A and B are shown apart, each in its own frame.
Chain A
Amino acid sequence: RKEVEQDPGPFNVPEGATVAFNCTYSNSASQSFFWYRQDCRKEPKLLMSVYSSGNEDGRFTAQLNRASQYISLLIRDSKLSDSATYLCVVIGVTGGGNKLTFGTGTQLKVEL
């Protein structure tokens, strides 16, 4: 089993749709969780952190379920500019250092 698993997609949705991505992780001791966005041939950039209490930033909502070991990202009212690959990131601490594990990414294509 991979440490962090995501559905690679692609998710093709019409503009204005609501789309949800899930990400599961295997290490129950993981400490921090993030969603990053990566545009084609560009570097990843932080979209939002993920907390147990859930957090919302405009059209984006992230949730963490520690009991089931998954995180989710909900995008409402999708825009063409939301087309990108969404990477979930799980951070654990081992031997005094951080271990960052990225999922394979979920590709989103928003269409007219």
Chain B
Amino acid sequence: DAGVTQSPTHLIKTRGQQVTLRCSPISGHKSVSWYQQVLGQGPQFIFQYYEKEERGRGNFPDRFSARQFPNYSSELNVNALLLGDSALYLCASTPGLLSSYEQYFGPGTRLTVT
């Protein structure tokens, strides 16, 4: 069975640009979460989506937005990129919303902002 997939794997953008990252969850999983991981730090929670609705939000500015599609895939958008947005962006899927569920992570998208 395919795991969580993310695209692209690497991305280089310049300050002020916009970026869209994509995630496909494990088949049968209905919840997708997004995380930002800066080098040397643990992942920071950005959003959780379940059944196309936002169900959790971390402490990120409004430049960050996301959505989930009927097939449960998801996109993360970041507008007006800053140098500090350079990070590994991880997507994780779970079957549902129970807090006891294991998060299955994708390989991540490494974003570099110059």
A residues with a Cβ closer than 8 A to B are: 4, 6, 8, 31-32, 34, 36, 42-46, 49, 87, 89, 91-105
What range describes how many residues of B lie at the interface?
A: 20 to 34
| Nearest CB on B from A71, distance (A) | 14
Interface members, chain B 23-66 (any A CB < 8 Å):
33, 35, 40-45, 48, 50, 54-58
In the complex the two chains form, is A43's CB within 8 Å of B106's CB?
A: yes
Measured CB to CB, the nearest residue on chain A to B3 is A43
Q: Which residues of A contact B57 (CB under 8 A)?
A: 97
Confirm or deny: B105 has a beta carbon within 8 angstroms of a beta carbon on chain A.
Answer: yes
CB <8 Å contact, A91 and B42: no
CB A27 to nearest CB in B, in angstroms, measures 12
Residue from B40, B50, B107 within 8 A of A42 (CB atoms): B107
Cross-interface CB contact of A31 among B35, B50, B99, B108, cutoff 8 Å: B99
Interface residues of B (CB under 8 A from A): 33, 35, 40-45, 48, 50, 54-58, 90, 97, 99-100, 102-103, 105-108
Pair A99/B105 contact, Cβ less than 8 Å: no
Beyond the given A98-B55, A104-B41, could you list 8 further A-B residue pairs with CB under 8 A, ordered by the A residue number? Answer: A4-B42, A6-B42, A34-B102, A45-B105, A97-B57, A99-B58, A100-B33, A105-B41
A3 → chain B, closest Cβ, in Å?
A: 10
| Interchain CB contact under 8 A, B55 and A93 | no
CA distance A74 to B103 in the complex (A): 22
Contacting residues, chain B, for A42 (C-beta < 8 A): 107
B100 partner residues in chain A, CB cutoff 8 A: 32, 49
CB-defined contacts of A6 to chain B, threshold 8 Å: 42
B48 x A97 contact (CB < 8 A): yes
Whole-angstrom distance between the alpha carbons of A34 and B101 in the complex?
Answer: 10
